[in-house]
A and B are shown apart, each in its own frame.
Chain A
Amino acid sequence: MLEALEGSAAIARAVARCRPGVVAAYPITPQTHIVENISKLVADGKLQTELVSVESEFSAASVALGASAAGSRAYTASSSQGILLMTEVLFNISGMRLPVVLTCANRAIGAPINIWNDHSDSMAVRDCGWIQLHCADNQEAIDTSIQAFRIAEATELPVMVCMDGFILTHTLEPLEIPDQDVVDRYLPPFRFDRMLDPKNPLSLGTLVGPEYFSETRHLAHQALMAATSTIVDTDREWQTLTGRSAGGLLTVEGPENAKIGVLAMGSVVSTFREALDTLKTRKKAKLINLRAFRPLPDQALREACAGLSDLVVVDRALSPGFGGILGGEIKAALSGMAKMPRIHNVAIGLGGRDVPLEMWPRLLDVPTEDGGFRILDLEPAKLGEVP
């Protein structure tokens, strides 16, 4: 049944349906409403969980780590500087192979202070060993949040659900929260074989010297790479159950014979979906929505880009001194393809800059313009006025 819900409230309800044993979080805009709504569900007696109010994001992640190690289904959420403060713990969670789920309400990172949306935060923890899934709209975010627990517990890898701050978290729209019995059928109770238990002692996160460290890293990489099939399977099963896919590893839309492709992640995809269907453009183009950023699905990307002459990769963050992060990754993933498309990389929508429908035809012109990474919606006249 559809309800008119704010994205954050919907995520709280979806997480509650997953019956988390422990929720720990520290408020930060634009994540705050998610945890606020969870704590309201707890206060109203609609969710039985151990809700832990902590004094920092470092502690929030630490509580989730400890809870997960002790065999609880653990959840946390954060944004921006909060994700940065969690960073050390995020590496520990993945290193210990703990199936924590975290919602990242994507937001820029300061300085200068900026509370608005881009992907700088989740990109900054790109290498922390977590699965990262991006959501194009709030329904995908709801469905991905539920799938995240299944994926995490099947792979014993933590999952970060990335949803655009404000643009998704603060948008009210008709959304469907799956019924409890549907979620219960999809997500069985969490049973953790490696649970910390005095009757069956084991150590987590111990010292590993040079004689085994490479092997642990190899296994971590293998586990992430193998998670691609779990991501596909869990989404397929969800689709069978609910009739909705949350996008698997990636989706491709648009005319079969298009030579230009645009690849993006997150809520701009939703805007581009409308543009693709309704705007008359001189050039035909495919829209590739990359849902799985980690693991980066090389094979699926190559299949999606087969037949393209040009691919415009849209970044919502950048690595100063390098360029677009997603752009660099896609170049690496496609290199060695028999007919690799020319790759053009732009960043747009940094720190909350609006991405209008008209951005779509602009992106389609990028292949004919001078190459090299650039911020496409830069307003050069303002450069002299930057505060």
Chain B
Amino acid sequence: MIEVRIHGRGGQGNVVAAYLLATAAFETGQHCQAFPSFGAERRGAPVTAYVRIAAQPIRRRCQVANPAFLLVQDAGLLHIPSTLEGLKPGGGILVNSPHSSTELTEEYGRPMVAVPATALAQDILGRPVPNVALLSAFLALTGMMPASALVKALAHRFKGDVLERNTRLIEAATTQVIAGAWQEVAHA
């Protein structure tokens, strides 16, 4: 079972990101579970969401304490110690940031991969919502499933121009990371 934790701020589509990732896994025939852990429900407040993906039905309903991967939609949350807490040894941290992976890794003293997800979304969607670009980069890094699974998941929510733009965003974000760099972590 792969466990993922998503950190972001209310309004960044954190829960939607969790639902999309789980739905994409479902589209590839896997079992999945995604759920949020809200704080006070308001824009800007830190939000955590969890995703589990497994070959078998998932019965545990506790929070993800020891994720293999962290998706951080707002780099400012890296300053909160609980954001990085519990990450499995060797686990991957993917951050939405205009800075480079090297800069982030140096600043926080641990390996991180950066993707300028907000900028990509602003360019292609015209809206600064980082979730889809971040998910696309995540799928490319892990090789967990093809980008087409994410497109299928999006097709449950969007159609026409919005879906087409999101598909382009997925393609653009894929090229931002080294494909398969986290493959071993995903299969550990």
Question: What residues make up the interface of A, taking CB atoms closer than 8 Å to B?
Answer: 2, 4, 6, 29, 115, 137, 166-168, 170-174, 267-268, 270-271, 273-275, 354-357
Binary interface profile of B, 115-134, with partner A (CB < 8 Å = 1, else 0)? 00000000000000000000
Q: Are A4 and B36 in contact (CB under 8 A)?
A: no
Q: Are B41 and A29 in contact (CB under 8 A)?
A: yes
Query: Is B59 in the interface zone, CB < 8 Å from A?
Result: yes
Which residues, 81 to 100 on B, are CB-close (under 8 Å) to A? none
Q: Are B26 and A174 in contact (CB under 8 A)?
A: yes
CA–CA, A2 to B29, complex, Å?
A: 10
CA–CA, A355 to B59, complex, Å?
A: 13
Enumerate chain B residues within 8 angstroms of A29, measured Cβ to Cβ. 41
Q: Are A270 and B60 in contact (CB under 8 A)?
A: yes
Question: What residues make up the interface of B, taking CB atoms closer than 8 Å to A?
Answer: 15, 18-19, 22-23, 26-27, 31-38, 41, 57-63, 65, 153, 156
Q: Are B38 and A273 in contact (CB under 8 A)?
A: no
CA–CA, A6 to B19, complex, Å?
A: 8
Enumerate chain B residues within 8 angstroms of A275, measured Cβ to Cβ. 60
Some 29 contacts from A to B, beta carbons below 8 A apart, are: A4-B22, A4-B27, A4-B32, A6-B19, A137-B59, A166-B36, A166-B38, A167-B61, A170-B15, A171-B61, A172-B18, A172-B19, A172-B32, A172-B33, A172-B34, A172-B35, A173-B31, A173-B33, A173-B58, A174-B31, A174-B32, A267-B61, A270-B59, A270-B60, A273-B59, A354-B63, A355-B62, A356-B65, A357-B60
Q: Are B62 and A115 in contact (CB under 8 A)?
A: no
Q: Are B32 and A271 in contact (CB under 8 A)?
A: no
CA–CA, A197 to B66, complex, Å?
A: 61
Enumerate chain A residues within 8 angstroms of B41, measured Cβ to Cβ. 29, 115
Enumerate chain A residues within 8 angstroms of B60, measured Cβ to Cβ. 270-271, 274-275, 357
Enumerate chain B residues within 8 angstroms of A115, measured Cβ to Cβ. 38, 41
CA–CA, A56 to B157, complex, Å?
A: 31
Enumerate chain B residues within 8 angstroms of A273, measured Cβ to Cβ. 59
Q: Are A173 and B22 in contact (CB under 8 A)?
A: yes
Query: Nearest B residue to A168 by beta-carbon distance?
Result: B61
Q: How far is the CB of B157 from chain A (nearest CB, A)?
A: 12
Q: Are B61 and A271 in contact (CB under 8 A)?
A: yes
Q: How far is the CB of A175 from chain B (nearest CB, A)?
A: 10
Query: Nearest B residue to A357 by beta-carbon distance?
Result: B60
Q: A4-B23, A171-B34, A173-B32 known; 11 other A-B pairs, CB under 8 Å?
A: A2-B26, A6-B19, A166-B36, A170-B15, A170-B36, A171-B35, A270-B59, A274-B60, A275-B60, A354-B62, A355-B61
